[in-house]
Amino acid sequence: MTELAMDYLGLDALLSAEELAWRDTVRAFVGDRIRPNIKGWYESAHFPREITTEMGAFGLLGMQLHGYGCAGRSAVEYGLAAMELEAGDSGLRTFVSVQGSLAMSAIYKFGSDEHKQAWLPGMAAGELIGCFGLTEPTAGSDPAGMVTRAVRDGGDWVLNGAKRWIGLASIADVAVIWAKTDEGIRGFVVPTQTPGFTATPIEPKLAMRASIVALSSAAEADKVVSAIPSAQKIAKICFMVLQISRWDIDPHVTKFAAVTRLFSEKPL
């Protein structure tokens, strides 16, 4: 039976039995693992790294993707899971979004087969962490104002630049970094152990204290591999990946952003 206090928006009547069962599974996980601990994690600004593999075992990471150990769930199921995680803590819901919607989706949709096999299974299991390096200190998330550069060095690429407000960057194993090249803006899959790559947590902060955002830089970071095959489609590709991450943001906030924010000098 639906409890009114848990269904203010009257969503339950719109959901199938399978969707409700999935929602309840995630709600139980939040009740068991997040609610009892979030006060301490928030107060100490601690991201519980151990919870990532538990989320992976529950099928929460990259849940909208198919194969590579991902759950292959629908957009509705993804939204329900995000809603329950958000009720536990916004920072931990943000981890699921950055991992699954930004980093994993970029590799899944546009990376090579080698990239997918190397990174997606471990990321789906929560054993490997990814981040998405688009936002910059001056340009924000607008690719048109990006200053990070990538130049060819034989068969490799060398990246130079800085990103800011990059979720999970200081604990990530792999970063999807966007940079300008002579051929246009391209995306790169960068293992964070690459010489020259650094990421420093931005502290202190008041919101989402159980999550991590960082200032990252790639100063002469080399031996990275291009992940996005078509430089000419950068605006469309970035928008597609960002749009997936907005499935788990309040639709009213998304509508406001779409009307007021600019992307490539046009309203979202």
At residue 228, does pLDDT exceed 80?
no
**Residue linked to tokens 């291009």:** 226
Please indicate, yes or no, whether residues 181 and 117 belong to a single structural domain of this protein.
no
Please indicate, yes or no, whether residues 105 and 158 belong to a single structural domain of this protein.
no
Tell me what pLDDT residue 10 has: 83
Buried/exposed code over 37-72 (b: 16+ C-beta within 10 A; e: otherwise): bbeebeeebebbeebbeebbebbbbbbbbeebebbe
Please indicate, yes or no, whether residues 217 and 182 belong to a single structural domain of this protein.
yes
Highest mean pLDDT among 47-56, 136-145, 150-159, 221-230: 47-56
Residue at a domain's end among 124, 153, 185: 124
For the chain, the domain total comes to 2
Whether residue 241 lies inside any domain: the answer is no
Q: What percent of the chain has pLDDT over 70?
A: 78
* Mean per-residue pLDDT over the chain, rounded: 83
What range defines the domain where residue 191 resides? 130-234
At residue 30, does pLDDT exceed 90?
yes
Tell me what pLDDT residue 209 has: 86
pLDDT (tens digit, 9 = 90+) per residue, 164-217?
A: 989 899 999 999 998 888 888 888 899 999 888 889 888 888 888 888 877 666
Whether residue 199 lies inside any domain: the answer is yes
Please indicate, yes or no, whether residues 119 and 134 belong to a single structural domain of this protein.
no
> Which CATH number do you get for residue 43?
1.10.540.10
Please indicate, yes or no, whether residues 24 and 109 belong to a single structural domain of this protein.
yes
CB contact at 8 A, 47 and 91 = yes
CB contact at 8 A, 197 and 175 = yes
- Give the span between the Cα atoms of 28 and 24, in whole angstroms: 6
- Confidence (pTM): 0.83
Where do the DSSP E strands lie in 14-129?
A: 66-67, 70-71
- Give the span between the Cα atoms of 3 and 97, in whole angstroms: 28
> Which CATH number do you get for residue 193?
2.40.110.10
Whether residue 203 lies inside any domain: the answer is yes
Tell me what pLDDT residue 163 has: 92
Please indicate, yes or no, whether residues 67 and 108 belong to a single structural domain of this protein.
yes
At residue 97, does pLDDT exceed 90?
yes
Tell me what pLDDT residue 22 has: 97
At residue 134, does pLDDT exceed 60?
yes
Buried/exposed code over 166-183 (b: 16+ C-beta within 10 A; e: otherwise): bbbbbbbbbbbbbbbbee
Please indicate, yes or no, whether residues 196 and 147 belong to a single structural domain of this protein.
yes
- Please give the angle made by the CA atoms of 132, 134 and 137, to the nearest 5 degrees: 125
Sort residue 59 into left (φ over 0), alpha (ψ -120 to 50) or beta. Answer: left
